[in-house]
Amino acid sequence: MALTTPYLMFLGDAPDQLAAKTASGVVYWRPEICLGQLKLDGCNADLGLEDMTLEEAADAGCKTLVVGVANRGGLISELWIETIVRAIELGMNVASGLHHKIADVREIAAAAERHDAELTDARHPTRSFAVASGKKRAGRRLLSVGTDCSVGKMYAALAIEREMKARGMKATFRATGQTGIFIVGEGVSVDAVVADFISGATEWLCPENDADHWDVIEGQGSLFHASYAGVSMGLLHGAQADTLIMCHEPTRTHMRGLPDYPLPDLGACIRANEEAARLTNPDAVCVGIAVNTHALAPNEAELFLKETEDKHGLPTVDPVTTGVAPIVDRLG
Amino acid sequence: MALTTPYLMFLGDAPDQLAAKTASGVVYWRPEICLGQLKLDGCNADLGLEDMTLEEAADAGCKTLVVGVANRGGLISELWIETIVRAIELGMNVASGLHHKIADVREIAAAAERHDAELTDARHPTRSFAVASGKKRAGRRLLSVGTDCSVGKMYAALAIEREMKARGMKATFRATGQTGIFIVGEGVSVDAVVADFISGATEWLCPENDADHWDVIEGQGSLFHASYAGVSMGLLHGAQADTLIMCHEPTRTHMRGLPDYPLPDLGACIRANEEAARLTNPDAVCVGIAVNTHALAPNEAELFLKETEDKHGLPTVDPVTTGVAPIVDRLG
C-alpha cells in the first residue's frame, strides 16, 4: 500500500464537522497534498479547501479520491457509489476509511477492474503478518500511548516527527490507523489485524533501521480501555519502544464509549505502560506528556501543563499549541 | 457452531504423537464421544482408539470427522482431501483444527454443498462480534491464565468444571481454542478474532448467567509472551473474571518460541494478571496455581507443588495427577 497524491477529499453528506474528523486530520498535517474537497447535498462539514467537481479535480491532477468521512447509517449510499465510480472513470484511485470495504461494492470493484485503479480500504490490512519474534532490532523507536482512545496520540507522534526532521534528525512516522495512513500514504490499521498478529504486524511496520533513526509510532487505544487494551498491549510489545509519550485529554469524564469507567490516574498509566513495554525493551521509559488542551481556556491550559509537568517531572506539552520541542530535547 | 457427536478422529499421516496433540486432548477429556480413529499410511500417532475405516465409522454412527492433527508442511494433501470428501459422502460433518480452512478447499466445499454437510474450521470464527461494553454482568466467572503458552490452561479449566459439576455446582467450560471447541462442541478461537474485538468476543462467549453459575473460561497465551500478550489481555478484560487460576510448567527454560525470553516470576505473573483483571472486575483475585508436572519425577513433582503452595500461599495442584479439589474448595 502506498497511496498516490495529491488527494481530492470526499466529504459525502457528512452531517457535521465531527463526521469529517479523518479528512480534517489529513488536511491539518498535509495541506500540500489536499488539492480540494467534494461535498454532496446535505453536507455540513467543511475543510476550508477549494470546492471541486470530479472533473475539475482530475484536471488539477488529483490522483486519489479520499473517503475520509463517517457515513450515515454505516452503509455506502447509492450517491456515494456513483461519485466513487465516476472518480475511477476519470483516472483516480480511491482510498477509503469506511468500516465497510469499498472493494466489496460490486460497481466500485468493477470500475476499478475496468480502469486499472487502486482501491485502498485503509481500515483493512490486505497482507498477512508473521507472529512477533520479540527479537531486539536496531534503530530507535518512540511510541505514543494514552490514558484513553482519541486523546491525541497521532497528533503527538506527527508533531514529534516534524520537530525531529526540522532538527535534521532521521525520523519516520509509522501510521497504525486510517487517518495516519492517509497522511503518510502507508501503514497498518493494527486494530483490524487478527489478534494473534498484533505484535507481529507492529514489528513489520517498524523494522530494524539505522542506529540513529527514529521510528515515531502512532499508538492506539489505552491499556486502561476495557474494549481495546489488547490492541494497545500488542502494539506496545511489537514496537519495542525506547521511549513512550503519554497522551491525555484533561476534560474527559469517562473512558470513551464506557460511561462506567473513569480515566486512569496519569502516573499509574505511565507506570503501567513502562512496565508492559519493558517486556520487549527493558530500557523503555516515558519521556514526556502530550496534552490535548483544546477544550480548556488558554489560562487553564497553561496551568494544567505546568502542574502536570511539576507533578510527574516530565516535559508536558500540547503538540498543537506549544509544540513538542521540550520532549524532542530529551531524544538527542 | 455446535458440533455433532460422536466423532471419528482423523490422524492423517501425523509424523509423531505431538502432531496429534489436539486429538489426544479430545480423547482425554471426552473418550465417550470419540468412537474410533482413522490413520493414513505413515501415521506415527495413536489415540488408543479402535481403528475404523470411514465406512465402519459411518455404520457405527459417527456424526463428525474431526481433523485434530497438525499436517506436514501446512498444506492439506490430496490424500486428506479424498478422505474428507468420502466422509462427507457417507453423511458425516467435518470439523478441522488446521490453519488452512477446509471450507476453502474446492473439492471439500463442493462435497459439503452436495451433501448438506457442516464444515467447521474451529480456528476461524465465522461470526462477527461487538466491541466489548465492559458492563458488569451477572454470574461468576473463572479464567485460567498462565506464565506461558501451552502450560495447561485448558486442562486446568476442564478439571475445574468437572470437579464443580461433581459437587453439584452449576458450571460451564468456555472454549477459546480449537481443542476446547472440539471437546465441548462450541466456542470461539479468540486469537483468530480481529484485534478490536478480542474482549467483545470474550464477553459474547461467557454472557450473563445465574448468580450461582460458574463460567470456567479457557485462557490463551500469557501477559508475558512477547507475541501473544495482546490476546491474553483482551481475554482477561472480556472475561470479567472473579477468580483466576495461574497455570505453569516448571521445566520450561524460555517462553515458547522465544529463546531469548525467560519465564516470568510466578508471583509477579500472578500480580500482573490480577492487576489487569481488576480493570473490569475490581474483585478479581487469583485463588490457585495449576502446575503441569508431567516432566518431573513423582517426588520432584510433589516437592514442587508443596514449595509453590507454601511460597505463594495458594492451593497448588496438578489438574491431571492431584485433581483440583483444593482450588474448588475456595469457590463455594
Q: What is the pTM of this model?
A: 0.95
Query: What's the rounded Cα separation, in Å, for the pair A242 and A284?
Result: 4
Closest alpha carbon within chain B to A129? B227
Task: Tell me the CA distances in angstroms from A48 to A31, A52, A96, A319, one per residue in order.
Answer: 10, 12, 20, 22
Spatial strand order of the sheet with A93-96 comes to: A34-39, A7-12, A64-67, A93-96, A119-121
- Asked if A130 has any chain B CB less than 8 Å from its own CB, the reply is no
Q: Measure the CA–CA gap between B322 and B318, rounded to whole angstroms.
A: 5
Contact B258 A134 (CB under 8 A): yes
Q: Please name the residues between 234 and 263 in chain A that touch chain B, using a CB distance below 8 Å.
A: 234-235, 237, 257-258, 260-261
Could you tell me if B103 and B125 are in contact, meaning their C-beta atoms sit under 8 angstroms apart?
A: no
pLDDT in tens, chain B (332 residues): 689 999 999 999 999 999 999 999 999 999 999 999 999 999 999 999 999 999 999 999 999 999 999 876 667 888 899 999 999 999 999 999 998 899 999 999 999 999 999 999 999 998 999 999 999 999 999 999 999 999 999 999 999 999 999 999 999 999 999 999 999 999 999 999 999 999 999 999 999 999 999 999 999 999 999 999 999 999 999 999 999 999 999 999 999 999 999 999 999 999 999 999 999 999 999 999 999 999 999 999 999 999 999 999 999 999 999 999 999 999 97
Tell me which of B265, B279, B281 to substitute to probe the interface with A (most A C-beta atoms closer than 10 Å).
Answer: B279
Q: How far is A306 from chain B (nearest CA, A)?
A: 29
- Chain A CB contacts of B233 under 8 Å are 223, 229-230, 233-234
B125: closest chain A residue by CA? A194
**Distance between CA B218 and CA B156 in Å, rounded?**
8
Question: Which of B18-22's residues contact partners 24+ apart within 8 Å by CB, and which partners?
Answer: B19/B45, B19/B69, B19/B70, B20/B45, B20/B46, B20/B47, B20/B68, B20/B69, B21/B70, B21/B179, B22/B68, B22/B69, B22/B70, B22/B97, B22/B178, B22/B179, B22/B182
Q: What chain B residue is nearest to A200 in terms of C-alpha separation?
A: B227
3-class DSSP state of B140: strand
CA dist list (Å): A122 to A83, A97, A225, B306, B330: 19, 5, 23, 54, 49
In tens, the pLDDT along B245-271 reads 999 999 999 999 999 999 999 999 999
Cα separation, B230 vs B184, whole angstroms: 25
Q: Which residues of A touch B132 (CB under 8 A)?
A: 226-227
* DSSP conformation letters of B188-212: --GGGSBGGGHHHHHHHHS----TT
Q: Do B231 and A195 touch (CB under 8 A)?
A: yes
Quote ipTM for the complex: 0.93
Per-residue pLDDT of chain A (332 residues; tens, 9 = 90+): 689 999 999 999 999 999 999 999 999 999 999 999 999 999 999 999 999 999 999 999 999 999 999 876 667 888 899 999 999 999 999 999 998 899 999 999 999 999 999 999 999 998 999 999 999 999 999 999 999 999 999 999 999 999 999 999 999 999 999 999 999 999 999 999 999 999 999 999 999 999 999 999 999 999 999 999 999 999 999 999 999 999 999 999 999 999 999 999 999 999 999 999 999 999 999 999 999 999 999 999 999 999 999 999 999 999 999 999 999 999 97
**Where does A119-250 have alpha helices with state H?**
153-166, 178-184, 198-205, 229-239
Using CA atoms, how far apart are residues B188 and B220, in angstroms rounded to an integer? 12
The answer to whether the Cβ–Cβ distance between A229 and B199 falls below 8 Å is: yes
Q: How far is A266 from chain B (nearest CA, A)?
A: 15
- Cα-based torsion angle of the residue sequence B19, B23, B26, B32 in order, rounded to the nearest 10 degrees: -150
Asked if A3 is an interface residue toward chain B (Cβ–Cβ < 8 A), one would say no
Which burial class, exposed, middle or buried, applies to B17 when counting CB atoms under 10 A from its CB (0-12, 13-18, 19+)?
middle
Taking CB atoms and an 8 Å cutoff, what residues of chain A touch B149? none
Q: What is the residue whose three cell numbers read 514496537? A: A239
Considering only CB atoms, A134 lies closest to which of B136, B193, B226, namely B226
Q: Does B226 touch chain A (CB under 8 A)?
A: yes
B150 touches chain A (CB under 8 A): no
For A79, A89, A109, A129, the CA distances from A118, given in Å and listed in that order, are: 20, 12, 10, 22
Q: What percentage of chain B has pLDDT greater than the value 70?
A: 99
Domains, chain A, with CATH or none: 7-121 (3.40.50.720), 140-331 (3.40.50.300)
